[in-house]
Chains A and B, each alone.
Chain A
Amino acid sequence: MMNKLIFGRYIPGDSIIHRLDPRTKLLMSFYFIGIIFLANNWQSYLFLAVFTFIAILLSKINLGFFLRGVRPLLWLIIFTVALQMFFTSGGEVYWQWGIFRLTEFGVINGIFIFCRFVLIIFISTLLTLSTPPLALSDAIEAILRPLKVIKFPVHEISLMLSIALRFVPTLMDETEKIMNAQRARGVDFGEGSIVQKMKAIVPLLIPLFVSSFNRAEDLATAMEARGYQGGDGRTKYRILHWQVKDTLTVIVFVFVTIGLVWLKN
């Protein structure tokens, strides 16, 4: 069930995209999502699509993964695109039925929104597929570090983040295990009315919470026993290195932005 989620998974690989600094990847992904909103005509969308496609090719990750990443969000996309198509007025009217109206602008807007969705999903899937979760949390810590000036608990947040990321698969396994154990005791998950379905979750949820509490206690004890006393005065084992290819990536993005501004209306 949960194994179907592609979004947010990491696929080990050794491509130029994999080897980029996670800070670069994270910042540039956000930046890309930002500049997608600049695009407003065919040329600019095509330009961004080509750029995304090249990035995907460079990562050497099977294109199927990206398509699968879109699948869970398909209904949301269709819903939004349909809303745009039927309720945008302006331009030539192709078809009308009550308040539903298919217009030239509506169709164009719908297609643009579709492109936007797909590009955003592709680029964020590319980020998570090519970056190990721990590297991502390192990157977030590094990016948040300036906030220390305003007393933002950067170390604590990043510690929680890396522990949380580390335990996602463990908790998934645990969930699966408890589900199976309760199934063997006669629980039907996801069957019957909505009330029955919710009731069936209780024998899963309580053990999960209890085991999370126990796990947290054990982990805290183990951390203290190993001399953890908080963030001050700690050294780092994983150190991020900014390399030439990261600078190049930023330069590429500068050119992409210039190109985009030149292409848009």
Chain B
Amino acid sequence: MVMDIRFEQVDFTYQPNSPFEQRVLFDLDFQIKDGSYHALVGHTGSGKSTILQHLNALLKPTKGTVTIGDRVITPTTNNKNLKPLRKKVGIVFQFPESQLFEETVAKDIMFGPKNFGVSEEDAAKLAEEYIELVGLPLETLKKSPFDLSGGQMRRVAIAGVLAMEPEVLVLDEPTAGLDPQGRREMMAMFAHLQKEKQLTIVLVTHLMDDVADFADYVTVLEKGRVVKQGTPNDVFQDVAWLEEKQLGVPTAAAFAKRLQEKGWTFNELPLTAEALAKVILTKEGLAHDE
């Protein structure tokens, strides 16, 4: 099924009609295409986490509509019957290791699928499949989640969400606090999963390198409004604008920019290390020809 996610004129206010009222989303319009790898970037407080919680109706808009696949969420949508939606949209929250609670890793991974009506045996199979996918040995399944290291707990928590086999996978800074190798492995695993299972991935991150490496599409948010969107190529060309907004620039693009200041010319700024290396090599090649 096509799982486009559309935000139409979405406003959101925390604790409306109370003295603590706080408006965080303003007339938000944007779209996440089915099967795409979509990155959301912006400062803390730009409304990213609020948007995430709209993706599976944990929050409902105070105005406007959110369309998720064939479900339309309006301010008056009933809280009942949202389970099918939550099965389709899996969210990995920030520091997901805090959601572990079962006696064994296996039970914790099976918890999600079982809530959505998967049988005990099938859930056990899913647990085996996904524990390996997140890069942990099968023996881990028998351990208590609280005996694991922080990084391993993170992997178990992510396996628990993946085991629900969602069509849309939402990741809120999935690699925050991981070591560089763990981070690379994790990001490669998500990218692989997306290609293999045609998942839609929504990634919230502060790491522009990850955005440049993996995302098909970027939405830049500021104070609850979309200020820029497009492919990473479109968005990251304007290095000065990004620096002014203090959003950060992919390392490769920043380096290319410095080369540009030294007299190099690029048709467009390369965003990844590979692209940069390729450009430099071809230029060098040209230099040899002369």
- With A and B bound together, what is the CA distance between A186 and B83 in angstroms? 6
Q: Answer whether A178 and B58 are a contact pair too, CB < 8 Å, given A3-B15, A184-B86.
A: no
B114 to A, closest residue via Cβ: A186
Q: Answer whether A62 and B19 are a contact pair too, CB < 8 Å, given A178-B98, A183-B58, A185-B115.
A: yes
- With A and B bound together, what is the CA distance between A38 and B166 in angstroms? 65
A209 to B, closest residue via Cβ: B101
**A15-23, A99-107, A199-207 - interface stretch:** A199-207
Q: Answer whether A174 and B115 are a contact pair too, CB < 8 Å, given A180-B53, A181-B93.
A: no
Cβ of B111 < 8 Å from any Cβ of A? yes
The distance from the CB of A3 to the nearest CB of chain B, in whole angstroms, is 5
**Is the Cβ of B20 less than 8 Å from the Cβ of A3?**
yes
Choose one: B18, B19, B91, B101; the contact of A184 (CB below 8 Å): B91
**Is the Cβ of A187 less than 8 Å from the Cβ of B91?**
no
Chain B positions within 8 Å of A184 at CB level: 56, 58, 86, 89-91, 93, 161
Cβ of A11 < 8 Å from any Cβ of B? yes
B113 to A, closest residue via Cβ: A186
**Is the Cβ of B56 less than 8 Å from the Cβ of A211?**
no
The distance from the CB of A62 to the nearest CB of chain B, in whole angstroms, is 7
Cβ of B146 < 8 Å from any Cβ of A? yes
Interface string of B100-135 (1 = CB under 8 A from A): 110000000001100110000000000000000000
**Is the Cβ of A185 less than 8 Å from the Cβ of B101?**
no
**Is the Cβ of A186 less than 8 Å from the Cβ of B115?**
yes
- With A and B bound together, what is the CA distance between A186 and B56 in angstroms? 11
- With A and B bound together, what is the CA distance between A65 and B20 in angstroms? 11
**Is the Cβ of A210 less than 8 Å from the Cβ of B146?**
yes
- With A and B bound together, what is the CA distance between A206 and B160 in angstroms? 17
Cβ of A88 < 8 Å from any Cβ of B? no
- With A and B bound together, what is the CA distance between A180 and B94 in angstroms? 11
- With A and B bound together, what is the CA distance between A184 and B101 in angstroms? 15
The distance from the CB of B132 to the nearest CB of chain A, in whole angstroms, is 20
The distance from the CB of B289 to the nearest CB of chain A, in whole angstroms, is 57
Q: Answer whether A186 and B164 are a contact pair too, CB < 8 Å, given A3-B18, A65-B19, A203-B111.
A: yes
- With A and B bound together, what is the CA distance between A120 and B110 in angstroms? 50
The distance from the CB of B174 to the nearest CB of chain A, in whole angstroms, is 13
**Is the Cβ of B93 less than 8 Å from the Cβ of A206?**
no
A187 to B, closest residue via Cβ: B115
Interface residue SS majority, chain A: helix
Chain B positions within 8 Å of A206 at CB level: 101
The distance from the CB of A253 to the nearest CB of chain B, in whole angstroms, is 29
**Which among B90, B115, B160 has the greatest number of chain A C-beta atoms within 10 A?**
B115
A182 to B, closest residue via Cβ: B99
**Is the Cβ of B91 less than 8 Å from the Cβ of A181?**
yes
The distance from the CB of B152 to the nearest CB of chain A, in whole angstroms, is 15
**Is the Cβ of A186 less than 8 Å from the Cβ of B93?**
no
The distance from the CB of A218 to the nearest CB of chain B, in whole angstroms, is 12
Choose one: A62, A65, A178, A185; the contact of B112 (CB below 8 Å): A185
- With A and B bound together, what is the CA distance between A187 and B161 in angstroms? 13
Cβ of A177 < 8 Å from any Cβ of B? yes
Q: Answer whether A178 and B99 are a contact pair too, CB < 8 Å, given A184-B86, A186-B115.
A: yes
Interface string of A1-30 (1 = CB under 8 A from B): 001100000010000000000000000000
B166 to A, closest residue via Cβ: A184
Choose one: A4, A186, A202, A207; the contact of B99 (CB below 8 Å): A207
**Is the Cβ of B98 less than 8 Å from the Cβ of A186?**
no
Interface string of A62-76 (1 = CB under 8 A from B): 101100000000000
**Is the Cβ of B19 less than 8 Å from the Cβ of A202?**
no
**Which among A174, A185, A207, A211 has the greatest number of chain B C-beta atoms within 10 A?**
A185
Chain A positions within 8 Å of B56 at CB level: 184
Q: Which of A84-113 contact B (CB under 8 A)?
A: none
Chain A positions within 8 Å of B48 at CB level: none
- With A and B bound together, what is the CA distance between A4 and B16 in angstroms? 11
A214 to B, closest residue via Cβ: B98
Chain B positions within 8 Å of A186 at CB level: 83, 86-87, 112, 115-116, 164
- With A and B bound together, what is the CA distance between A185 and B19 in angstroms? 32
Cβ of B250 < 8 Å from any Cβ of A? no
**Is the Cβ of B15 less than 8 Å from the Cβ of A207?**
no
Cβ of B61 < 8 Å from any Cβ of A? no
- With A and B bound together, what is the CA distance between A207 and B111 in angstroms? 14
Choose one: A4, A62, A177, A210; the contact of B93 (CB below 8 Å): A177
For the complex of A and B, the 6 pairs showing the least CB-CB separation, nearest first, are A186-B115, A206-B101, A181-B99, A185-B112, A184-B91, A181-B93
Q: List 7 A-B contacts (CB under 8 A).
A: A65-B19, A180-B58, A184-B91, A185-B115, A207-B100, A207-B101, A210-B98
- Taking Cβ atoms with an 8 Å cutoff, the residues of A that contact B are 3-4, 11, 62, 64-65, 174, 177-178, 180-188, 191, 202-203, 206-207, 210-211
Instruction: Supply 13 further A-B pairs (C-beta < 8 A) apart from A186-B116, A206-B101, A210-B98.
Output: A62-B19, A180-B93, A182-B99, A184-B86, A184-B90, A184-B161, A185-B99, A185-B112, A185-B115, A185-B161, A186-B86, A188-B83, A203-B101
